[in-house]
Structure 1
Amino acid sequence: MPDTLGANSLDTVKDGADQTFMVDVIEASREQPVIVDFWAPWCGPCKTLAPALEKAVRAAKGKVRLVKINIDENPGVAGQLGVKSIPAVFAFDRGRPVDGFMGAVPESQIRMFVDKLAGLAGPDAAAEELEVALKEAGEALALGDVGGAAQIYAVVLQADPENIKAIVGLARCYLAAGEVEQCAQRLSSPALRLPAPTRRRSMRRSRRTPTTTRRASTSPARSPHAEISRAP
């Protein structure tokens, strides 16, 4: 039987079970957030996700814990949570689920998920994570992985709803998928509009334009022939 998290306060990644779920997850999450990874030995995406998830949790330096539950041996809690496919990741805080995702996702998305839960990402760190995610999304789109790119852009927009790069990137994904109407809706986002001061300056310039035109009209007209004769 797996040891409980309480057996070793420094154990941030460990195996769990149905019978220890209350101690490992519910009670432990009252002290700090706990991530639960539901997996199975036969699941290929689970093997891809696990190392990145463990790496991100350990990088949080004890502010988040990870409990890994093999659903073949422990189907009870997974069934109660309505898990239909794996990998399935749930985040618990203060005794209840607060966030989660399903499937193998990019490492940048995993880091953002863990950092958000741990409360580690300050303004600079958060901005850096978003830039990494945007780069990965752009690379995915360039390789033709429209769905993967769209997923990353959507995650960035959850963290920063007015991120222009993500808005435009998601619009490009819709366009690549032939969803022109969705593309247009994204491009109509208020975040892409000119700020008010810029619009006012543009309006002032447009008001001056007629005056300039009138002044030009008072100058003597020059014929094309006259202009040619002036040329050296």
Structure 2
Amino acid sequence: MSDWNNPYAGGYANGGTTQTNVTFGAGSGGAAGFSAPSEAELIKDTTTAAFAADVIRESRNQPVLVDFWAPWCGPCRQLAPALEKVVREARGRVKLVKLNIDEHPAIPGQLGIQSIPAVIAFKDGQPVDGFMGAVPESQIREFINRVAQGGGGRIEEALAAAAEARGAGDTQTAAQIYAAILQQDPENVDALSAMADMLFEAGQTDRAKQVLERIPADKADVPAVAAVRAKIALMEEVAKLGDPAELERRLAENPSDHQARFDLALICNARGQRDAATDHLLAIVKADRTWNDDGARKKLLELFEAWGVTDKATIAGRRKLSSLLFA
């Protein structure tokens, strides 16, 4: 994967704003059925003619806030900057549509809007909540959090779609979906760990580390995160091990050279030869459980963590280790 076939290059991993145009919803655009709001699409003006498309239909994808305002309204001008700021912070969880009631009086008349500023939230084509007046920013944020509840299901669907794309070898689509998830939920651990893992597999270890640094401290031990960290640690350890041919020569001359066998096991793992890595470490455990303070068994457990609990090599290796320890 080159710097751009890699969807994260110069983007989220470096602390910047991703340029990937993907988001959630029922639209047909974007990756795996997810379409993408740009910054401009988060906030727009509408008209009576466009109201059905901009608000009613769009609210089936995510909540849409309608700001009813007029140029002569001082509180409207006071509310607008705070409202737009919080909508941008929500990163696509909601959209904001602004309607000038002087130019387009039909819609507010139909909805019974009698005082402005008035903000009405639409969800699934229906008005569901609202407030009136120039309320403080904290109250706007509470309002948006309230009306945006329930969006987690779409994120779960997106994660599943990304995992399916990645499993099929379509890393470009998977990366686009993960980037879209992080636009809406910047601390989503599943998306962050998957991004870091993909970057690591693409050989971009420094960027993988930068993504891992964005994971909240209280979620640093989540299995998916720990697995990526373990992979990186193992790779860095393997880089110091030297020539595998020399290790094989040493082992051929002296099968009890546990250090050579241990180092060779790590190199096998780095090459993707998981069964061979397991067998080398098990051979040390069988020959001398006390070697290096039970280092072979401990390293094998680290490998299992890095491979994941459902990996075939992990399952087979655990069976072999159990048989050896409890025979």
TM-score (normalizing by structure 2): 0.34
